[in-house]
Amino acid sequence: MAGKDLILEFASFLLKSNSLKFGVFTLASGKQSPYYIDLRVLPSFPPHFRLAIGAMKDAVTRKVGQFDTFASVPTSGLVFGSALAYEMGKPFIYARKETKGYGTGKTIEGFLKSGSKVVIVDDVATTGTSVSGAVETIRSNGAIVEDVVALLNRHEGADERLKKIGVKLHAVAGINDIVNALYKAGLVDENTLESVMKQMTSIGEYETD
């Protein structure tokens, strides 16, 4: 987890930019959520985007060992993955969700050397479905994947799903960190805090200390 000052600055930005909203929302999975978060607006604000990429770089440096290449999954993760790869001077590839129906029918875009160690980058980790699919695609192309780095973890199953296939998820912050920071700063009320924590606890992945 990133430092408290960075978390509060990032959380405040999400709230002010309407990237984080509280209420009742229906997610793509059909499940209801007491909040909605969309980090696709972040690259439109260079200072905060730089802050996010710097925090992800720090997470990689501290938590991931030696590796060769960064990868991502279309579409939202591509911006973060390519920026992080540029920042750290690493090659970048991405795994297609579907094989192209024309040309060579590649599942990987970019150059991937067989046997190389790949770190997957995502913006928000939720259930881990798309990322686990990317893990299998990259592994089927002869590379090694043991780590995923995300900017935010919603704590809705991604950790467990990835753990089952031998991959560790490293997140800059969890939604619990974000909401706690906003609550302590007086930017959200106790009901909002409790509704988010209740959802995380009901999924069973997050436990309070």
Query: Each residue of 117-166: pLDDT tens digit?
Result: 999 999 999 889 999 999 999 999 999 999 999 999 999 889 999 999 99
Return the CA Rg of the chain: 17
- Check whether 199 has a pLDDT greater than 60: yes
pLDDT value of position 52 = 94
Phi/psi of residue 172, nearest 5 degrees: -65, -40
Closest-CA residue to 205 (of 154, 155, 165): 155
Q: What is the CATH number of the domain that holds 156?
A: 3.40.50.2020
- Amino acid of residue 146: E
- Check whether 95 has a pLDDT greater than 80: yes
Domain count, the chain: 1
pLDDT value of position 103 = 45
Whole-number percent of the chain with pLDDT over 70: 89
Whether 209 is covered by a domain: the verdict is no
Whether 14 is covered by a domain: the verdict is yes
Instruction: Show the beta-strand stretches assigned E in the chain.
Output: 20-26, 32-37, 69-72, 92-95, 108-109, 117-125, 144-153, 168-174
Distance CA 42, CA 13 (A): 9
Domain membership of residue 166 as a residue range = 4-203
Q: Which range among 12-21, 43-52, 59-68, 196-205 shows the weakest confidence by mean pLDDT?
A: 196-205
Whether 208 is covered by a domain: the verdict is no
pLDDT value of position 76 = 80
Collapsing DSSP states into helix, strand and coil, what is residue 30? coil
